[in-house]
Structures are given as C-alpha cells and as structure tokens.
Chain A
Amino acid sequence: MAKGGAVQETAVEPGGAERGLQARRRLVPYYLLGPAGAWLLVFLLLPMLLLAYTSLQSGGILSGGFQFTWEFSNYVDGVQQYQKFFIRSVEYSLIVTLVALLLAYPMTYWIAFYGGRWKSSLLLLILIPFFVSFVIRTIQWKFILGDNGFILGPLKNLGILPDSYHVLATPFAVVAGITYNFIPFTALPLYVALERIDKRLVEAAKDLYSSRWQAFRHVVWPLSLPGVFAAFLLTFVPATGDYVNAAVLGGPGTTMIGNIIQDKFLTQNDYPEAAALSVILMLGMLVLASLYARILGTEDSTVAAAAGGAA
C-alpha cells in the first residue's frame, strides 16, 4: 500500500516559477487530506487510542472500576479462549465476500458498461432498499424465510421439503443475511472501478482476442482490480465483526466473534477484554488484508494494465 502514485512527477525545467509550482504541488496532498485527516484524528484515532488504553486495563465493574495495569494477559486470554470464534467469523466472512463479489460483479458490470444514461438510476435502485432500516429488513427476511412463510410454506405444502425443515437459525441464514446486508458495500466500489474503464479498450480487446471471455479476462478484469480490492476490503472486514445477523438469524453454533465482543462488553461488562478482542480482530484483519493485497498486487497490476492498455 505504500507504493508511490501511478505516475512519478516528471522533472520539468527547473525554472524559478516551475520550482515554486513544484513546491506548492508537493503540499497539495497535505491540503487535500487536511480537513478529513483532522476529523479522523479526533473522532476516530482518539477513540481508538482510548480503546487500546482500555484493552490494557484490569479490574471489574463491581470492584471499583478499571485501572491501567499493562494487562497483556487480556490479549493472551482472548486468543486462547476465543480462537474458534475468530476462525468461524473469518470463514463466514470469506464466504460472504466471495458470494457478494460473485453476485455483484455481473450486475455492476452490466450497469457500468451497458447502463447508458440509466447508470446512476440503476445504481440508486440497488441502494434504496438500504434506505430502509436494517432492523426492518431483517425482520421482513424473517417473515419471508419463516418456517411456514412465503417461500418455505408453499414448498412444504407441495411436499418438496420436510415439515421440520427450516432456514432460519442455521449458518446458511446468517451468511445469507450478512451477504444481503453488505452487497452495497461490494457493489459500489466495483461499479466505480468498472465504470471508469475506457470502453474503447474493451473494443480494441475484442478485436484482438478471439472471444469475449478472453477480452474480459485480459482487459476488464485486471483493470477492475482496484475496485475488487476495495470491494473486498469494505465487505470482508466489517462482515467479520458483524453480530446482528448471527443474533437474529442464527442458532446454536453460529456465534461469531462480534457476538462474543458484544457479550463481553454489554453482558459481562468486561471492558478491557472486549477491547482486547477488538484490537485482535482489527489487527487480524489488517494482516489478512495485506496478504490479500500482496497476492493481488493491486497497485502494480493497475499500472501495468493502464500502461499496457493505453498504448
């Protein structure tokens, strides 16, 4: 992620005015990130520091509060005791992200390439279901997926499914629920990346490659990689920490690390351990995401594709 921008700033004639311009240019990124950076510093970094601080505390809610004691055992305990929940969450989340990518890619591809002037409207159509509160949506899904609801009821009456069959309270329901909730997070970055691909590149590719599939594989797919990476990031990472779907749609054996953290925090009031688990979660995600970035090699392939395609 630390690779430089796509094109290095080429040296121009170092005339006085030019040098001034270059100097000012160097400051541009700082101006750009200034306001956002300041906001994030106060309302994101500070709470996170507080979080890290809390994670090294010990004590209890009934024992006079919590004190800072460099309690690294919170981390050790966290990993030892809750390993299986971390793993389960990653598993679920990987499935969710894969499915979401598979579902969203063709859809955004079609909208980006063939949407024409309906592009942004179609995009909006994808998103407006999410204007409605997720609580309402989840409840309606419970109605729809109910044991004798719209889908299962008729199927059971027809004898296709056994009477005791149920979708809710299974891992399937949890994964399906999370996927549903995160599709906008997947679709939007994909759309954004796909939309900027120059259509002429695709045309040229079609002329060069014998099949559309090859054209896709060699041109469109690599160019869409930054979008895929962003989509992966925005989906996989928050999905791993999700707890609502597991709580509402899940059953025994579907508990995710998010539920554990919530219990630790709200039920047990064990703030230090909850904080420690959260930090472990975040760092774990960071490791996985960096690995993924390396495998995908996003920046590099972007440059190569752009350079190659534009030639």
Chain B
Amino acid sequence: MSAVATRPREVAAEDLAPVNPPRKRWTRFLLPTYTWLMILYLTSPVFVMILYGFNAIPGDRQTPKFWGFTLQWYRDLFGVAGLTSALKNSLIVAPVSAIVATMLGTLLGLALGRYWFRGRAPVNFLIFLAIAVPEIVLGSSLLSMFVLSSTQVPLIGDVLPLGLRTILVSHIGFSIPFVAVTVRARVQGLDRSLEDAAQDLFANPVTAFYKVTLPLIAPAILAGFLLAFVLSLDDFVITNFVSGQTQTFPIWVFGATRIGLPPQVNVMGTLLFGAGLLAAVANVVVQRRRA
C-alpha cells in the first residue's frame, strides 16, 4: 500500500487491484491460453478420430481419404465380430484394475512416503524395476510364470486360466507402482504435524487418517486412479501375452491395423472419449454443488 497519498482516487484504485498488471497478463491470459492450447494438442488426434467415424468409405477398411459424411457406422456399431466383445472386456478390466490398484497403491505410497521401515529400499527398488522393465519382457515373463505354475500346481490352472483373470491380475500388478509413486510424491511433502495434531485431538490413528490425511492426499489418489485406468484401458503388449484367447480393445484394434481399421473402431473411440467428457462435466457439476 502506498504510503504517499497522491490523489485520493488513485490510492483507491491501487487498493482495489492487488495484482500488478504484468502478473495479470500471465495468470489471466498466457497461462490459461497455453493450457487450453495444450489440451487442444492432446486431443487433436481424437478430433481426427471422431471425424473419421463419419467417413463414408466405400469398403470396410479405413483410409486417410475422406469420402463424405455418413452415420452408418454409428448404426452398425456392433457389426464387427469380436470388436464388441473386445471392448466389453476392456471396460470390465479397466475400472476393476484401477480400483484395486489405487487401493493397494495408495497404501503403499503412504508407507513409502512417510515411514521409515526395514525393507524400504528394496520395496522402492522393486517399484522402480516395475516401471523400468520393458513391457514385452514383463508380458512374456508373466506368461511363462502363469504357464509354468499351472503345469506344476494344477489348481492355478483352474483359478488363473489365461484370459480375463490373468489380464486383470497383470494389470493390477503393473498399475500399483504407478499409483504408489504418484501418492508417494504427494505424501512426501505433507506436513506431519497436521496428523499429529489430529491425533492429539482424536483418540484413533485410523480416524486421523480418514479425516486429515485422506483428504490431503485425495488429489493424488484421484490422479493415481486415472493413471491406472488409462494404463489398463490402453495396454497392449502385456495384455497380448497373458490373454490367452480373450481379446481386449487395444488387441483387437492393433490386429486390425494390419489390413485397415473398420470405422466402428473410431466410433467406439469417440464414445469412449465422450464418456470421459461426460465424467469431466459431471465432476464440474458435483464440485459446483459442494461449493
């Protein structure tokens, strides 16, 4: 606040605008514009995909050429054998894998981020390896492991035949480290005194966790969940190895690229994207309600 009073009106104006004009330019225009441009960049292939879902191609297989608009692929959405069941499989595995991985990974991230315990270094090492291992190698090792274990212990062959179950189990396995690292980053900077204070007030560490820690790390948990969801939905290499006869959406799509993608793939991608968009909108509505 200016100590020197010039004309009264000018002082008042300065009071009303606590930010300097240069700052305003950054936060009001440059950064948000940049962010939206980035979002545009991230979504640009999606727009192309949506567009080509309306491509009136003469045959069954897609090409870069755009022939004209049609809704036939929307009408014929489930017309491609195998694609529909592949999509269904992906939509079953992804949320389940994400939920389980988030639960387990959050606990793990908490443990790593805040406590010292014996075996902490090896656990960190294991997580690191999980992120570093090339997918093709993890995929084939998992397959070998499933196969070997089912030949030695027949029970495993019944409990974990190659298929949806092995896919699910593998997805959870490789998602946990990603969630853990995300949560750990958040937890590492948390002010421990907050939880200690809570413990002075409440009797129970569990309650302290629920009421204090959990809300503080909630963004990390959400971020971890989304990451795990995307990882699962998108995974091709590992899934391909452990899936047996089952197919998931990425596997089916990858297979079709050999000859050409049917437009139904674009339509499904569009719908998936639309679902995500709806979730974003729903999120906004929920936040509004809370505020």
Contacts and interface: CB of A to CB of B under 8 A. Distances in A.
A80 B97 CA distance: 40
4 closest A-B pairs (Cβ-Cβ)? A128-B276, A43-B173, A47-B141, A140-B45
A192 B186 contact: yes
B106 to A, nearest CB: 9
A32 B113 CA distance: 11
Interface of B: 23, 26-27, 31-32, 34-35, 38-39, 42-46, 48-49, 52, 64, 103-105, 107-108, 110-117, 120-121, 123-138, 140-142, 144-145, 148, 169-170, 172-174, 176-178, 180-186, 188-193, 205, 216, 219-220, 222-224, 226-227, 229-230, 233-234, 236, 249-250, 253-254, 257, 261, 265-266, 269, 272-273, 275-277, 279-281, 283-284, 287-288, 290-291
A135 B253 contact: yes
Most chain A beta-carbon contacts within 10 A, residue among B42, B108, B127: B42
Interface residues of A, number: 110
29 contacts: A30-B111, A30-B117, A32-B111, A36-B105, A39-B104, A40-B176, A43-B169, A47-B145, A50-B141, A50-B144, A50-B145, A106-B35, A110-B32, A110-B35, A118-B284, A126-B38, A132-B269, A133-B234, A136-B261, A136-B266, A140-B49, A143-B52, A184-B226, A226-B184, A234-B182, A241-B132, A258-B134, A261-B137, A278-B134
Contacts of A106: 31, 34-35
A196 B216 contact: yes
B227 A188 contact: yes
A306 to B, nearest CB: 6
Given A43-B142, A184-B227, A184-B230, A234 B137 contact: no
B280 A121 contact: yes
Interface in A25-41: 25-26, 28-30, 32-37, 39-40
Given A5-B116, A36-B176, A230-B184, A121 B39 contact: no
A134 B250 contact: yes
Interface of A is mostly: helix
Contact of B120 (A2, A125, A193): A2
Contacts of B130: 40, 44
Contacts of A122: 35, 39
Interface in A291-306: 298-299, 302, 306
B31 A109 contact: yes
A189 B230 CA distance: 15
A272 B37 CA distance: 46
Contacts of A54: 141, 144
Interface of A: 1-2, 4-7, 25-26, 28-30, 32-37, 39-40, 43-48, 50-51, 54, 103-104, 106-107, 109-111, 114, 117-141, 143-144, 146, 149-150, 180, 183-185, 188-189, 191-193, 195-197, 212, 223, 226-227, 229-230, 233-234, 237-238, 240-241, 243, 258, 261-262, 265-266, 271, 274-275, 278, 281-282, 285-286, 289, 298-299, 302, 306, 310
A285 B52 CA distance: 40
B121 to A, nearest CB: 5
Nearest to A7: B192
A243 B148 CA distance: 27
B261 A139 contact: yes
Most chain B beta-carbon contacts within 10 A, residue among A111, A137, A227: A137
A234 B178 contact: yes
B9 to A, nearest CB: 25
Nearest to B193: A7
A191 B261 contact: no
Contacts of B126: 40, 44-45
A103 B38 contact: yes
Contact of A2 (B44, B121, B279, B288): B121
Given A30-B117, A121-B283, A124-B226, A278 B185 contact: no
Contacts of A299: 188
B123 A43 contact: no
Contacts of A234: 131, 178, 181-182
B192 A131 contact: no
A114 B32 contact: yes
A188 B182 contact: yes
B41 to A, nearest CB: 8
A183 B43 CA distance: 12
Contacts of B134: 241, 243, 258, 261, 278, 281
Contacts of A193: 185-186, 189
Contacts of B254: 135
B248 to A, nearest CB: 9
Contact of B64 (A43, A143, A306): A143
Contacts of A36: 104-105, 107-108, 176, 180
A47 B138 contact: yes
B137 A274 contact: yes
A117 B273 contact: no
Given A36-B180, A129-B273, A241-B133, 19 more contacts: A5-B116, A25-B205, A32-B108, A35-B103, A35-B107, A39-B176, A47-B138, A103-B38, A110-B31, A118-B284, A128-B280, A131-B273, A133-B249, A137-B49, A143-B64, A184-B226, A238-B132, A271-B140, A310-B191
